[in-house]
Structure 1
Amino acid sequence: MLRKLLSRAKISKLGLRTPQPAPGRHGVAIAAIVRNEARYIEEWARFHHAVGVRHFVIYDDASTDATRDILRDVLAPEALTIIPWAQRLSDIRLGREIHNQVLAYAHAAGNFGSEFRWMAFVDVDEFLVPTASNSLVQSLEPLGDIPNVSLPWHMFGFSGHETAPDGGVLANYLMRVRDPMSDAPGIRAFKMLVDPCRLTAVRVHSMESDASSETWNDAGVKATLEAREKPGFYSTQAVQLNHYYTRSKADLEAKIARGPNLVAKTDQYRRKVMRTVNSIEAETVEDLRARDLARRLGLID
């Protein structure tokens, strides 16, 4: 019975021996796992490059479209590393699947982290929007030497679109859930910016620095990973994390059809996604912050 229960549980947390910081390390890197993102990855890459991301470590999960070619067209060779990442690994003894996304994040930090002050672990439907300036580096500078920042999701829904509109994500998806710290299903979650040279444990939504569960918001307020769930932790003083969860209704169906990163979760995936969608759409507010920044940067009209 115990073996059967364990086989249903994924290995979703990995320990990490931190890399030694390289002399003169600086800037922000993004690590992301992608699959067939040709429609949207150009806008995502151009935006993050424009706000100051120095390097992109892209883990390609067997894309069959032009995802890789678009990235190579948009980003200079010194700003881009693409790694094939189609494997699915498991612990043979227990039959437990190793979370492929967590494995990618640990690989990125361990192999590339020594060159950067910050490393972000996000998806192509997530945008890091600096709020204190037009630059991520400048917005983060007042935080000093803290080892990590927890950024709450700002969940965007359909914004009335049945199919993907012309003009990209930032110009067209302007309606998000009113309360990013809501306890409605699927709403309150975080992604993290970390100092990769102090990273000691990796999960998708929660990481540990210096073998501690302490984390900070982007205003420099410290809490535990558990306490960050409280409304008082919320801040967008330096960076806002926009998660364009659905895009259009047609995009959502395509997302569900692609399925989750974990094979074991396939049957539950549609139900989970639709619970989150219903939570987003229940009460929305207009949010123009990312669109207006993209306009200032000359990325959209």
Structure 2
Amino acid sequence: MFRFLSRRQITRLSLDPPKPRPDRAGLDVVLIVKNEERHIAEWARFHLLAGVSRFHVYDNGCTDGTIAELRRTVPPDALSVIPWDQKLRDGSREIHNQVLAYAHAVRNFGPSCRWMTFIDVDEFLVPKRAASLPEALEPLSNCACISLPWHMFGRSGHTEAPAGGVLENYTRRNPDPMSDAKGLRNFKMIVDPCRVVSMKVHTIETLGEGGTCNDRGQRFPMSARDSRAFYSAEAIQLNHYYTRSDAELRAKIARGPNLTTPDAEHLRRVMRKVENIEAGEVEDRSAISFLERIGARGLAGLP
């Protein structure tokens, strides 16, 4: 049933790259969000400290205080909020609302930034050695398309949501970002938006690139980024706090996916992924180490 439905969904969009402005600069983050009031401020503060210039937030029907928290946390000139509560179809085929938001951001906000990335509230971009994400990206200026593998964090033993933030409470992850286990190996990307020609949630094609780079600047065909030779998290690590607590995981499942999927199939896929994440976990304090390195631990509500 699900395979049949997937053939009736539009999950890839092609577009003409926008023209860059002469003064474009910085790293912009694109986010589509729904009801993340509890965690959005920590996520935004972390990425401000990591050097993000602007946040383009697509409001997918928030009914809680998510947007108010963002407005309290992010300076007004660094935040744009776009209403994005919709399910659109081309005839019988549903258009992936997240991909549509990403394509809109590239065309409308891409000309003013040097880099653009597309992540969720449960994903943190962590500079591993540099003092900021822009500094970490400086050696990668010849790469129009950088793929960062997921580092998948589980529940860290929490049944209910603990006091405090995500970073201090969830420090255990699956040890192998390149695992063949279902649902563990995937990527988010940092791109030059003025070279983007095609978008999916986890795959972005850029003009003239012929593939993608890892964070060492090594270029591979897109089809080869699943190989262990591609793996690197030396400059930037993508931490994906997929579950948070068990209670929050159950609420996440209840909200459903970005595309219309049968409930039983959605539950099965999520729980299979969780089992794989929590198999043989290792301790990972990379995000906290970054905050300590820049002298920001304990500041602005972060751990």
TM-score by length of 2: 0.95
Tell me the secondary structure at the aligned position of residue 10 of structure 2: coil
**What is the root-mean-square deviation of aligned Cα atoms in Å?**
1.5
- In the TM superposition, residue 282 of structure 1 has moved relative to its aligned partner by 1.1
The answer to whether residue 15 in structure 2 is matched with residue 13 in structure 1 is no
SS at match of 1:153: strand
Percent identity at matched positions? Answer: 53
- C-alpha contact (below 8 Å) 1:8/1:264 kept by paired residues: no
Partners of 1:32 and 1:123 lie apart in 2 by 6
Structure 1 letter corresponding to 2:50: V
C-alpha deviations, 1:46-84, integer Å up to 9, x for none?
A: 000111000000001110000010000001111000001
Q: Which residue of 1 aligns with 2:47?
A: 48
Matches within 5 A, 1:142-221: 142-210=139-207, 213-221=210-218
Aligned length: 296
Cα offset for 1:45? 0.3
Q: What is the CA–CA distance in structure 1 between the aligned matches of 2:296 and 2:51, rounded to whole Å?
A: 11
Structure-2 separation of matches of 1:259 and 1:8: 19
Aligned equivalent of 2:118: 121
Contact 1:132 1:139 in 2 (8 A): yes
C-alpha distance in structure 2 between counterparts of 1:142 and 1:281, whole Å: 34
Residue 256 (structure 2) aligns with = 259
User: Is the contact made by 2:144 and 2:209 (CA closer than 8 Å) also made in structure 1?
Assistant: no
Contact 1:44 1:124 in 2 (8 A): yes
Question: Alignment partner of 2:212: what SS?
Answer: strand
How many Å apart are 1:213 and its aligned residue?
4.5
- 2:45 corresponds to 1:57: no
Larger deviation, residues 249-258 vs 139-148 = 139-148
Aligned with residue 278 of structure 1, among 262, 266, 275: 275
Structure 2 unmatched runs, 5+:
none
Deviation at 1:291, TM superposition (A): 1.6
What is the alpha-carbon distance in structure 2 between the residues aligned to residue 21 and residue 145 of structure 1? 16
Q: Gaps (5+ residues) in structure 1?
A: none
The 2-side partners of 1:261 and 1:5 are apart by: 17
CA distance in 1, matches of 2:212, 2:204: 9
Runs (4+) of structure 1 exceeding 6 A deviation are none
- Whole-Å separation in 1 of the counterparts to 2:246 and 2:4: 36
Amino acid at match of 2:192: D
The DSSP-based 3-state class of the residue aligned with 1:57 is: strand
Q: 1:117, 1:215 → 2: CA distance?
A: 17
Question: What letter matches 1:28 in structure 2?
Answer: L
